[in-house]
Amino acid sequence: MGNNSKIDRSWLTSAKESIGQWSYIMLKDADNNDIDWDWVRSLDLEHGIGVATPADYEPGAGSNVHDLLKADLEIRDRLEAIIAKMSMVFMRDFDRHIKTYELPRALAYANRRLNDQIVLLRDRGVAEGLWTVTDEERQRVTVPVLTAARDGVVVDDIQDHTAEIVNARAEQRKADRAAREAQRHHRQMALFDADEVKYGSVEAGPDESAPADSSSDAGSPDYLVEGQPVINDDNPAVPGSEQIAVDETAVSEPTFAKYRHAAAEHVASRQNAETKEYWRAVFLPGRDVDKVMGIDLETNGTEPYRTYIIDVGFEYMNMKSPRPADAPSDYTYDKDYYQGGDAYDQHRFSFGVTPEAARHGNPFIIQLTGIDVSQRVGDEYPLFDEDAEAQADLLKRLTSQPFVAHMATFEHSFFMLNVAGYAEAYRNGHVTIIDTLPMSRLWDEGSIPCEGHPDGDNTLDAYAKRQGALREDDAERHLGLEDTHIMLLAMKHHLTQLKAEARGPWGPDGKAGVGGKRITKKRHFVRHERRTPMYD
């Protein structure tokens, strides 16, 4: 998909030319610390941002591995806090002060190499008998934990703080959401109160059983309605039924019913306008979706700013119209029982990792995918984040029709920091993303909650089995193209069933059009005070 024999890395330096644009908009990092953009400008993104040299990776080197590791971790934590904020800032830059997303991609490129260096420095400490390393789960992430292997070795100041950072940010987001929900609830209650004044209480109605003197508001302005005592404390505007015949100015029961209905409609309309609780619902397909490109990535880790794309598989499938008659139909997958279905234009591409990442290896990835990253080096395996041709080809495909992935935010996050032009295309509304994960969770009645899966088992493996795309005695392959294929087969089977049963996109809450997540409009703000931009 590309030839990396001649790699131009000058873009990493030129990317820093946009620092003026970023510094005008983005003053704080993801942890609310002030950003020193001069420090960012000083980083040598082309040649490495860590303090160690290749000689420092070797056991027995004369350098102090503890001090090198500590310095590299401090650089990584500082840089990643900046990268973590840049996506949100770029997408909310409605006035387009920031022209490109090249700087975050460049910082992520450099950070991946820095992370490789950190891992090898840890390995050196193990080899020298200074410490041991054990992976531990800590809430949302798994981190390597160092334990001193002999007396006098200090490891407290060189521990990985990723879990503390990520969990703290998650808790802050949770608190922010709770505050926004409280504000929303307060505004809604104010509207309810206004409706009661205008239409009458939604809950209260004419009280035919109350005694004529039940009002607790005697003497108040609300006590009399045309000289008659009020007998309904909940709704003073509505007298008892025995008074209606003698009080022509009282609110009649038909009128009350009309007002009650109008108030209920107001309540319902506001509830329907509320943000959906399940945020992935915006990635659902519409009932007019047709040609899509399914895609799946395999990587050597979960963080797009630390790890590499090593396997890409994608293919096309039409959800409504016939498969192109001229498309080849003899493609074979890794598992020969996979039905060809209506898939066409299949592609599988393999990419590599840096020599440093290959040297460390990754037994978990071997077990999961069968890919040995220690062998993914050399001209046969270009690095995706250095392969401009591969990125351009993929961007063209991603913007030509909706793309589908299972838990699509994973692919999206890697595209943002690996594919030149993707973030800009997404911000400008040229990318549409459909996710089969919310299809499984919201539209598949077989997704039954259980102890291990409170929202139901919505893994691709479980979803594909329920939709007949994967055998019950088999398992998800964890290779890009194979997983893409069973995902698209499951999606098409599912949509066919939903249409026949008038559910999902064809149900009462279904939507016309392609559906999926897409940036549809720009917002503009009028600023009364504006600082002078630091760029042309």
Q: Looking at the domain assignment, is residue 410 inside a domain?
A: yes
Measured from the Cβ of residue 316, the count of other Cβ atoms closer than 10 Å reads 23
Q: What is the domain count for the chain?
A: 2
Q: Which of 111, 128, 145 is the last residue of a domain?
A: 128
- Calpha distance 246→257 (Å, rounded): 20
In this predicted model, what pLDDT tens digit does every residue of 109-126 receive, in sequence order? 999 999 999 999 999 999
| CB-CB contact of 512 with 288 (8 Å) | yes
**Short-list 216, 243, 208, 212, CA closest to 251:** 243
Percent of the chain at pLDDT exceeding 70: 79
Residue 188 lies in a domain: no
The set of long-range contacts for 124-128, using a CB threshold of 8 Å and a minimum separation of 24, is 124/56, 124/57, 124/58, 124/59, 124/61, 124/65, 125/65, 125/66, 125/69, 127/59, 128/59, 128/60, 128/65
The number of C-alpha atoms within 13 Å of 205 and in the hemisphere containing its C-beta is 11
461 Cβ neighbours under 8 A, 6+ residues apart: 470, 475, 476
Amino acid letter, residue 379? D
Q: What is the pLDDT of residues 331-341, one digit of tens each?
A: 877 677 677 78
- Domain stop point among 101, 128, 155: 128
Q: Is 42 exposed, middle or buried (0-12, 13-18, 19+ CB in 10 A)?
A: exposed
127-154 pLDDT, tens digit per residue, is: 999 999 999 998 888 899 999 999 999 9
What's the rounded Cα separation, in Å, for the pair 336 and 460?
19
Q: Count of residues for the chain?
A: 536
Q: How far is CA 63 from each of CA 114, 121, 159, 360, 480, rounded to the nearest angstrom?
A: 18, 11, 19, 20, 42
Q: Residues 433-445: pLDDT tens digits?
A: 999 999 999 999 8
Q: Which two tokens stand for residue 102?
A: 């090249």
- CATH number of the domain within which 418 lies: 3.30.420.10
Question: Considering the domain boundaries, does residue 51 fall inside one?
Answer: yes
| CA distances to 285, 402, 405 from 515, in Å | 4, 9, 14
For CA atoms 323, 329, 332, 337, give the dihedral sign.
positive
Q: pLDDT value at position 337?
A: 66
Query: What is the span of the domain harbouring residue 33?
Result: 9-128
Q: Tell me, yes or no, whether 395 lies in a domain.
A: yes
The reported pLDDT for the residue numbered 257 is: 55
pLDDT bracket for residue 250 (50, 70, 90): very low
- The alpha carbon of residue 521 and the mean position of all alpha carbons in its chain are separated, in whole angstroms, by 19
Query: CA of 447: how far to CAs of 64, 294, 346, 459, in Å?
Result: 53, 22, 29, 10
How many Å is the Cα radius of gyration of the chain?
Answer: 30
Q: What φ, ψ does residue 133 adopt, rounded to 5°?
A: -125, 125
Structure tokens at 319: 């959800």
3 state SS of 89: helix
Contacts 24+ apart (CB under 8 A), 170-179: 170/139, 170/140
Per the domain annotation, does 238 fall within a domain? no
Helix (H) or strand (E) holding 402: none
* pLDDT tens digits, one per residue of 35-46: 999 999 999 999
Residue 361, domain member (yes or no): yes
Structural domain contains residue 124: yes
Residue 502: which pLDDT band, with cuts at 50, 70 and 90? very high
At CB < 8 A and 24+ separation, what contacts does 168-176 make? 168/31, 169/30, 169/31, 169/84, 170/139, 170/140
Write the pLDDT tens digit of every residue in 192-207.
777 766 665 544 444 4
Tens digit of each residue's pLDDT (9 = 90 or more) over 173-191: 889 888 988 888 888 788 7
The whole-number pLDDT of residue 217 equals: 42
Report yes or no on 439 lying in a domain. yes
The most confident of the ranges 89-103, 270-284, 455-469 is 89-103
The 10s digit of each residue's pLDDT in 359-369 is: 999 988 888 88
Checking if the pLDDT of 419 tops 70, the result is: yes
Q: By the 8 A CB rule, do 90 and 24 touch? A: no
Higher pLDDT residue, 219 or 84?
84
Question: Residue range 50-76: average pLDDT?
Answer: 97
Mean residue pLDDT of the chain comes to 84
